[in-house]
Chains A and B, each alone.
Chain A
């Protein structure tokens, strides 16, 4: 090998993002300098994105949560491509959320589209049929010029890809804050369904078994760094600057889904893995290191879209819609037949060997000879310094107590309108109407409901509920509590439908890990999630960390997004969010509003542009009691609606519950009407029920030790009346609530 004979050849490790000690470690692992192909592989696999080198130490702590959900053990947990939850009757569900933040800023449409495509393939690789998506999006201020570029592109990309695949998009969020201006967040979630016996894990085993690459041909997509290698190695003038933008082809992905599911059903697959970040480098090294042997690959057998690609580029290409499978030799013919049926290109590119090396050849030359475990698993691990920032004390001291409050009923009315019309609280149908919510015919609830609900078993009505949440303002004030409040909100959103929350996936979006204050935020958020998940009994099934989210020197608000999955025995029992019938009573479940919970509230932000103080304290016992109560109420059909209280407090919940079906409400508020409307005390839900069920509901609350207060009744008259304060016609409310986003775009 030439690399051994020329130890002193300078290599562009720094340009590829490697640190000096990381490069030295590669030389030490190999006992020589790496070839340029090996350097490409190590650099991309040891990147933050693939190796989790800054977060690994923290993420390991999630393991202490174990694998027990309220419905039995996880079938697969952290470390697999996606976690798998047993939901009963032989059904299993796999779900995961992943970020595609940076690509979505560079090219919003394709960045968001390929984000959806990537998470769908993760789910597919577990042997599951993808059945729905959700997308949690964060942008700069709604009125910023760049938001007008980024938001429509991202929304169109999410919709374009998901709609073409025929996947309903059943929920998510759209949030605005200045810290996301140069760094929007696109967190895509996919959920898939499988029978227990169809679960497939990714590994390569069995000497002589073939490695098959199938799907789209490999092109120059997403290879930022490899062009440096290419230009140095092969052409002094340098090739045309390769783009780092991947372009998605959802129609190809649809074929890949159907083809892969048929391959699984035919039993011709031993191990399978999707190709995402780091492409062939990742798939070969991960498959090989998860198995018990080595692997030999010939890059000349990789179908190329662009024949001028160098081997480094082939290894690093992030071309979309590709999968790798390990197939026994006797099944290769059948494998190829199935691929041909679906018009999917497939090629044997190598085989499993008995050694422990991953060797890759190109044009008769050995370009890679490594221990795959050193590439995939033994990457650097950083114990990054973390330090509680000094500014947090000042931030926590600046509570919302000093802010001016509305003085009259008329002021209160205008304040409510300002809150519901603020970009974060306003109607999001401009976004969600671009997504297909009901395709496949199993969507029971979708946006703007608290959680998306899907029917899984058409016979029994067994179904699942999913919600994603994160109030990053709370996380900014206190990342520990903020993460817990995100967890509680997602838990409560799922519980509001009558489903039992069972497990979470998370997408931890943070600024630069090289900034000790960001590392502190990250550690605190992870600790908060672990403690919260323990208290709620919901394990973490997997997820994703995204660091370096910042514009210039400004880091984003810490955004530990939680995706909660729940199980509902019969979707016919689900509880919708909107008031359902005039004459129904309205109750507030949970404690009365606490004045301190005005800090970090939407009111403080929307009216005063204020963020300060301390977030409210989560109450896990209360959340569990509330969820249990809702499950009973759902099974006994006690409630006609349930809507969780979170951003915007009771004011927002009342407005949304009225507007959902155009029914009014007359309510009397306890204590200070302003605090009652706008404080964001957690652990609360707004519910309605037929008056004949009033006693049963109140008895149920007593039994569950959940405070319960009757506020008033649903009315035929189309207005929201706060007794003694104001009456607001629903037309005016709807007009203000729904005008904000269309007017800005």
Chain B
């Protein structure tokens, strides 16, 4: 069974309040010099063979549901 990963990240110029909160929490805990942006990762198990059509389908699913493309970018890759 193939596994496909979809990474979703807030677009670089969009404010990321969660990432900002993590950044300042890290700083408070002594982890200096880190700047964090927080996204999400989807792991998708695909039934049967992973054809280019199936991969394309996942791209469309990501575009429709997994990412809010007004404020987020996404990246689809096959896990080796």
A249 and B12 contacting across the interface, CB-CB below 8 Å: no
A345 to chain B, nearest CB (A): 11
Tell me the interface secondary structure of chain A in the complex.
loop
A306 and B12 contacting across the interface, CB-CB below 8 Å: yes
B15 and A216 contacting across the interface, CB-CB below 8 Å: yes
The yes or no answer to B57 lying at the interface (CB within 8 A) is no
In-complex Cβ contact of A319 among B15, B21, B24, B71 (8 A) = B15
A221 and B15 contacting across the interface, CB-CB below 8 Å: yes
Task: Name which residue of chain B comes closest to A343, CB basis.
Answer: B24
The yes or no answer to A704 lying at the interface (CB within 8 A) is no
Residues on B with beta carbons closer than 8 Å to the beta carbon of A107: 68, 70-71
Which residues in window 285-341 of A have CB below 8 A to B? 305-306, 319-320
Residues of A within 8 A of B (CB): 106-107, 110, 216, 219-221, 240, 242-243, 245-249, 251-252, 305-306, 319-320, 343
Residues on A with beta carbons closer than 8 Å to the beta carbon of B17: 247-249, 251-252
Which residues in window 1-48 of B have CB below 8 A to A? 10-17, 20-21, 24
B72 to chain A, nearest CB (A): 10
- Docked pose: A242 CA to B70 CA in angstroms: 11
A106 and B13 contacting across the interface, CB-CB below 8 Å: no
Task: Name which residue of chain A comes closest to B13, CB basis.
Answer: A220
Task: Name which residue of chain B comes closest to A313, CB basis.
Answer: B13
B71 and A247 contacting across the interface, CB-CB below 8 Å: yes
- Please list the 3 inter-chain residue pairs (A to B) with the smallest Cβ-Cβ separation, ordered nearest first: A220-B13, A249-B17, A247-B15
Residues of B within 8 A of A (CB): 10-17, 20-21, 24, 68, 70-71
In-complex Cβ contact of B15 among A240, A242, A320, A343 (8 A) = A320
Residues on A with beta carbons closer than 8 Å to the beta carbon of B10: 247
Task: Name which residue of chain A comes closest to B20, CB basis.
Answer: A249
Task: Name which residue of chain A comes closest to B21, CB basis.
Answer: A251
- Docked pose: A580 CA to B33 CA in angstroms: 62
- Docked pose: A321 CA to B36 CA in angstroms: 20
Residues on B with beta carbons closer than 8 Å to the beta carbon of A343: 24
A9 to chain B, nearest CB (A): 27
In-complex Cβ contact of A243 among B21, B24, B70 (8 A) = B70
Given contacts A249-B20, A251-B21, contact A305 B71 (CB under 8 A): no
- Docked pose: A107 CA to B14 CA in angstroms: 13
Residues on A with beta carbons closer than 8 Å to the beta carbon of B12: 240, 306
- Docked pose: A221 CA to B68 CA in angstroms: 16
Task: Name which residue of chain A comes closest to B68, CB basis.
Answer: A107
Task: Name which residue of chain A comes closest to B10, CB basis.
Answer: A247
A663 to chain B, nearest CB (A): 45
Given contacts A107-B70, A107-B71, A110-B71, contact A247 B14 (CB under 8 A): yes
Residues on A with beta carbons closer than 8 Å to the beta carbon of B16: 247
- Docked pose: A247 CA to B16 CA in angstroms: 8
Residues on A with beta carbons closer than 8 Å to the beta carbon of B24: 343
Residues on B with beta carbons closer than 8 Å to the beta carbon of A319: 15
- Docked pose: A110 CA to B14 CA in angstroms: 11
Task: Name which residue of chain B comes closest to A220, CB basis.
Answer: B13
B70 and A245 contacting across the interface, CB-CB below 8 Å: yes
A306 and B13 contacting across the interface, CB-CB below 8 Å: yes
- Docked pose: A589 CA to B5 CA in angstroms: 66
- Docked pose: A740 CA to B20 CA in angstroms: 40
- Docked pose: A645 CA to B20 CA in angstroms: 49
B65 to chain A, nearest CB (A): 12
Task: Name which residue of chain A comes closest to B71, CB basis.
Answer: A245
Residues on B with beta carbons closer than 8 Å to the beta carbon of A219: 13-15
Task: Name which residue of chain B comes closest to A223, CB basis.
Answer: B13
Residues on B with beta carbons closer than 8 Å to the beta carbon of A220: 13-14
Task: Name which residue of chain A comes closest to B14, CB basis.
Answer: A247
Residues on B with beta carbons closer than 8 Å to the beta carbon of A216: 15
- Docked pose: A221 CA to B14 CA in angstroms: 7
- Docked pose: A240 CA to B11 CA in angstroms: 10
Residues on A with beta carbons closer than 8 Å to the beta carbon of B71: 107, 110, 243, 245, 247
- Docked pose: A242 CA to B11 CA in angstroms: 10
Residues on B with beta carbons closer than 8 Å to the beta carbon of A306: 12-13
Task: Name which residue of chain B comes closest to A221, CB basis.
Answer: B15
26 interchain pairs, CB-CB under 8 A: A106-B70, A107-B68, A107-B70, A216-B15, A219-B13, A219-B14, A219-B15, A220-B14, A221-B13, A221-B14, A221-B15, A240-B12, A240-B13, A243-B13, A245-B70, A247-B14, A247-B15, A247-B17, A247-B71, A249-B15, A249-B20, A251-B17, A305-B15, A306-B13, A320-B15, A343-B24
B14 and A245 contacting across the interface, CB-CB below 8 Å: yes
B15 and A243 contacting across the interface, CB-CB below 8 Å: no
A242 and B13 contacting across the interface, CB-CB below 8 Å: yes
Task: Name which residue of chain B comes closest to A250, CB basis.
Answer: B17
Given contacts A220-B14, A243-B11, A249-B17, 4 further A-B contacts (CB under 8 A): A219-B14, A240-B13, A319-B15, A343-B24
Residues on B with beta carbons closer than 8 Å to the beta carbon of A320: 15
- Docked pose: A251 CA to B21 CA in angstroms: 10
Residues on B with beta carbons closer than 8 Å to the beta carbon of A251: 17, 21
B58 to chain A, nearest CB (A): 21
- Docked pose: A107 CA to B11 CA in angstroms: 14
Of residues A106, A216, A242, A245, which shows the largest number of chain B Cβ atoms within 10 Å of its Cβ?
A245
